[in-house]
Structure 1
Amino acid sequence: MSIITRRIFGGVAIAIAIAAQPFAALAEVANAAAGSGAARADAKAPVVVFAAASLKNALDAIAKDWTRESGVEVKASYAASSALAKQIEQAAPADLFISADVPWMDYVAQKDLIVPATRVDLLGNRLVLVASKDWSKGDVELKSGVDLAALLGDGRFAMGEVSSVPAGKYGKAALEKLGIWPSVSGKVAGAENVRAALALVARGEAPLGIVYKTDAAADKGVKVVGTFPADSHPPIIYPMAKLKSATSSNADAFLNRLSSAGAKKTFEEAGFTVIAPPSGS
């Protein structure tokens, strides 16, 4: 008899068997693990991707096309890069990681969890100010000293958590550079990821928010009312890499697809800037 416990990593439930009768139970678990490993080594083993929330629309489209061509499923888990990096550190099962900033990829690399030769800076993005679609106060010129606090009134300012979420960190840096942060810091509604911040504005729960250009384009419930100067924050870079814990035999193939000319078109249509040279696959 065995007792089964479950842990959750990025929405994936992992069963762990604890033997009540050691030898028989351990043999059973070992056989199950061996069977699982054989399945993952299969030619059609799915690819598990941990990706920044802002990548959802474009990555889903690329994965759908690749699955139709290859017959291999892509299982994507979207969240803040910080949350995904921590899950990878805790041995969550994944094959590829795409972060919305360099520091969180560096964090995983410093833990010796990626295959260094596979790391590449894949994409760039822009930071924008969004309002709900019924905003009537016009565009906002994002320059030094602009009075965002007055535009907010009694409302909240939606952005990713400034201590961890990449979009929040970029946003805070831009607001500090423009001298706006002290006047709005007390109004910030910190969200767990950039898509959650976007939703607060789209639902009218916050009159203004900071998101990526690509997120704004993906939601008809908001409109862009200002674009932050590129030099007001660190460059927005999305690095990707294969994880050393990868088990899918198809991980390299999908990694190459993400750098292909076809993927480049999809990313650009979503509003990203493609940095990585095309792989040709």
Structure 2
Amino acid sequence: MLKRLGFLLAALLGMICHPAFADSKIFVASSLVDVVDPLVEASNIDGLTIVVGSSSSLARQIKAGAPAGLFISANEDWAQYVADDKELRPLFSNRLVLISHEQQSIADIAQLPELLKEGRLAVADPDHVPAGIYARQALESLSVWQSLHHRLAPADNVRAAAQLVGAGAAPFGIVYQSDAQLLQLNVAYEFGADTHMPIIYWMVAMGHDQPEVGAFVSFLGSEEARDIVASYGFVPLERQ
């Protein structure tokens, strides 16, 4: 049976001392919130509990003693933060896009400051959250960060940033392609892969004695898992 715990940081903090939290095994980045359930269900492995949150907050929870058997991070730095001498394994990648509440496309990202008008640009926290870090790298690469950094609507995670645009609270946002696809949001601009560091999800097995986790790790390397990942807008590394 799949058990999912909420991805709000406040909830995570409250669960640290909750008896049910002791059964948690797999910590995954918030951008994986939709694809993780189909992956677990397809694996036919019972007893997996999923904890979803930003990579940064989950990594801190693990370092504080949260009993994660597996951590899937949206960037290498946070995976390395918890890995110590454990092996990091790349799983799949993603793309960075600009989404808009209205149906439109932008040919030149330099237009964005003007198009924002009085609105703000929704992004995941660019100081800590991988999606926000990638967004800042892309905007700096394209020489528009200085005109936009004071007009941000920072969110705790990339899914929250996408939802701000979906609800109309922000006219534009920078998120992963997978979030735009899953929430059926308009993609106004696609950032080139050369504007930011590669967006790769990294897996760290934490070494707990959890046979279910080992079985799930094996399943993630299967063709069936790669097909599921691709159907949710991610890019299997073997098919790039």
Taking only the aligned residue pairs, the percentage that are identical comes to 36
Runs (5+) with no aligned partner, structure 2: 1-9
- Note if contact 1:128-1:224 (Cα within 8 Å) is conserved in structure 2: yes
> What stretches of structure 1 move > 6 A for 4+ residues in a row?
none
The answer on 1:128 being equivalent to 2:97 is yes
1:48 paired with 2:17, answer: no
2:156 corresponding residue in structure 1: 192
Structure 2 residue 169 is matched with structure 1 residue 205 = yes
Question: What is the CA deviation profile of residues 220-249 of structure 1, one whole-angstrom value per residue up to 9, with x for unaligned ones?
Answer: 3x21111001100011111102113x2422
TM-score computed with the length of structure 1 as normaliser:
0.76
Shift of 1:147: 2.1
Contact map agreement 2:63 2:82 (CA 8 A) in 1: yes
- Work out the CA distance in 1 between the residues paired with 2:61 and 2:108: 36
Aligned pairs for 1:208-219 (under 5 A) are 208-219=172-183
Asked if 2 retains the 8 angstrom alpha-carbon contact of 1:47 and 1:250, the reply is no
Q: What TM-score, normalized to structure 2?
A: 0.89
Please state if 1:231 is matched with 2:194. yes
Spell out, residue by residue over 1:43-81, the C-alpha distance to the aligned partner (whole angstroms, 9 max, x if none): xxx762100111111111111222xx34x1321111110
Q: Tell me the equivalent position of 1:255.
A: 217
Output one character per residue of 1:155-204: Cα deviation in whole Å (capped at 9) or x when no partner.
01000001000000000000000011111111101100000100100010
Q: What stretches of structure 1 of length at least 5 have no aligned partner?
A: 1-6, 17-35, 41-45
Q: Do 1:121 and 1:276's aligned partners in 2 also have CA atoms closer than 8 Å?
A: no
Shift of 1:142: 4.5
Q: Which residue of 2 aligns with 1:85?
A: 59
Counterpart AA for 1:166: P
Q: Which of the numbers 11, 14, 18 marks the counterpart of 2:17?
A: 14
Question: What's the offset of the Cα at 1:140?
Answer: 0.9
C-alpha distance in structure 2 between counterparts of 1:209 and 1:9, whole Å: 26
1:264 to 208, 226, 230: 226
Aligned residues: 229
SS in 1 for 2:71: strand
- Contact 2:83–2:206, Cα closer than 8 Å, also in 1: no
Conserved 8 A contact 2:24-2:67: no
Structure number with bigger Rg: 1
Match of 1:60 in 2: 37
Letter in structure 2 aligned against 1:14 = C
Select the residue among 17, 32, 49 that pairs with 1:75: 49
Alpha carbon RMSD of aligned pairs, Å? 2.2
